[in-house]
Amino acid sequence: MGSEAEHVLTLDTLNPNVIELQYAVRGPIVIRATEIENEIKAGLKKPFAQVVKANIGDCHATGQKPITYIRQVLALCTYPELLKSNDFPEDAKAQARRILEGCKGQSIGSYTDSCGLMVVREDVANYIGERDGYPADAKDIVLCTGASDGIKSVMTLLLTAKGGIDAAGFMIPIPQYPLYSAAISEFGAYPIPYYLNEKNKWALDVSELERAITEAKPNCKPRAIVVINPGNPTGSVLTKENIKDVIKFAHRHKLFIMADEVYQHNIWAEGAEFVSFKKVLQEMGAPYNKMELASFMSASKGFMGECGYRGGYAEVINLQPEVRAHYYKSISAKLCPPVSGQAVIDCIVNPPKPGGPSYDTYMKEKDDVLAKLKEKAKFVTELFNSIEGISCNEVMGAMYAFPRIYLPEKAVEAAKAAGQTPDSFYCFALLEEMGICTVPGSGFREEPGTFHFRTTILPQMDELKAVLNKFKDFHLNFLAKYK
């Protein structure tokens, strides 16, 4: 009996759901990337001067500047003394005053309602109403600590508190954003993977949905379908027809729809447009417009990229009133989402108005960020498709490319010998040789026998070009090495 035996928590007693949980976006390769950064700091020689973190959609980390107006409103809310300053525009002051009026004691240091400030919820409802052409109700808006928190809160409602064949089943796209698989593990729920059609721009085929749910029904209680649109990691943008098909499918199988729409401002492809699930539900009329739907939005993506403020909201419609009361109650133990994050959301959904002193700068900064991202989406797509052994669907939306890599058999064997998936093996080599940190496709799950990686399109254009040239060298070397 060594001192080890004295621990309450060991690998034998630790919550097995925690052991199972994986979150690839911050997984082993990212941990290794940070180690390498520390090795460089400590003077260790590397074939590169710094690590490029293309693993996570962290806009400001890769050189994007904050939108001035948002930060002005936040500074005014934070330190209201600045309301007296002539250095801040009147529209920013008015918006800050309005937010502070909504805060108890006029301080963003006080708790808000658990659903968030009513003034922000109203602004979100107006934004959605204008976006969709159908009104939204502020009572259906729940602000949250980033979209992740909102997603987990809704998933919590759908759990069964039972295991085995009584566990709640969540249909998730493959490839998917790993928050979903991580939450399913943590909750002891049951994942129902459905494969997106890589050959058809990662479209969502109803026949595949039917296959997936049919196979899963003996093993769990299917409760919800998760759709990510625009797609992460795929970069796809669904058509309205495709969304209709999904809604009909969900209705047929009595599934709660969870629409992850955090990239709704990030549409790049010609002819593509963002259409919300809420809008399509409304257009379809009865019985679809009574279906339960949660749509999630974030302050972290779009053109603002304010990840660190942890702002987000969920619009949750058509809940039974009793269920909604329990939902509100269940989030009350978290007290409230960060109020500065709520203020960021307010600036996004209620931006400066034409004619106001901040309008031109705001629009210029917004358009500039979006134009650059659009340019990079095109550049990345074309570059990947120009390289032997790689194919990549067009980055139609969101902030990522998810190229497919065709790996030689010898590389697959070498990976096996190293105890890694082939794409992990590939991505680790890319990190060690070139200092480029991406995320292996296996972290998002993928069709068996296919290999991918995810990279953000966020580095500034000059850096992105340099990085992708280094990548190309790496890739061709890798192919040659394992030919």
Could you say which residues in the range 230-269 bind a copy of itself, by CB under 8 A? 254-256
Of 57-65, 235-243, 354-362, 404-412, the segment contacting a copy of itself by CB under 8 A is: 57-65
Our finding on whether 306 is near a copy of itself (CB under 8 A) is yes
Q: How far is CA 283 from CA 97, 183, 280, 286, 418, in A?
A: 37, 32, 5, 9, 53
Residues between 204 and 233 with contacts to a copy of itself, criterion CB under 8 A:
223-224
Q: How far is CA 351 from CA 215, 357, 361, 405, in A?
A: 47, 12, 11, 41
- Binding test (CB under 8 A) with a copy of itself, winner from 32, 48, 66, 239: 66
Residues between 412 and 441 with contacts to a copy of itself, criterion CB under 8 A:
none
Our finding on whether 173 is near a copy of itself (CB under 8 A) is no
Our finding on whether 326 is near a copy of itself (CB under 8 A) is yes
CB of 54 to a copy of itself, least distance (A): 13
Q: Which two tokens stand for residue 63?
A: 């050189």
Our finding on whether 102 is near a copy of itself (CB under 8 A) is no
CB of 108 to a copy of itself, least distance (A): 5
Identity of residue 464: L
Our finding on whether 36 is near a copy of itself (CB under 8 A) is no
Q: How far is CA 386 from CA 69, 381, 482, in A?
A: 40, 9, 20
Residues between 358 and 377 with contacts to a copy of itself, criterion CB under 8 A:
none
- Binding test (CB under 8 A) with a copy of itself, winner from 268, 309, 428, 444: 309
CB of 449 to a copy of itself, least distance (A): 27
What is the spatial distance between Cα 265 and Cα 216, in angstroms, rounded to a whole number? 34
CB of 12 to a copy of itself, least distance (A): 10
Omega into 175 within 30° of 0, i.e. cis?
yes
Identity of residue 445: R
Our finding on whether 55 is near a copy of itself (CB under 8 A) is no
Of 145-153, 241-249, 385-393, 431-439, the segment contacting a copy of itself by CB under 8 A is: 145-153
Of 78-86, 129-137, 379-387, 405-413, the segment contacting a copy of itself by CB under 8 A is: 78-86
CB of 295 to a copy of itself, least distance (A): 16
Based on CB atoms, which residue is closest to a copy of itself, 6 or 388?
Answer: 6
The number of CA neighbours under 13 Å toward the Cβ of 345 is 35
What is the spatial distance between Cα 191 and Cα 170, in angstroms, rounded to a whole number? 5
Quickly list H helices, 113-195.
118-132, 146-158, 179-187
- Binding test (CB under 8 A) with a copy of itself, winner from 39, 63, 101, 219: 63
Our finding on whether 337 is near a copy of itself (CB under 8 A) is yes
What lies within 8 Å, CB to CB, of 133 at 6+ separation is 279
**What b/e string do you get for 62-74 counting C-beta neighbours within 10 Å, with b at 16 or more?**
bebebbebbbbbb
- Binding test (CB under 8 A) with a copy of itself, winner from 158, 349, 436, 468: 158
What is the spatial distance between Cα 273 and Cα 396, in angstroms, rounded to a whole number? 9
Our finding on whether 60 is near a copy of itself (CB under 8 A) is yes
What is the spatial distance between Cα 180 and Cα 162, in angstroms, rounded to a whole number? 19
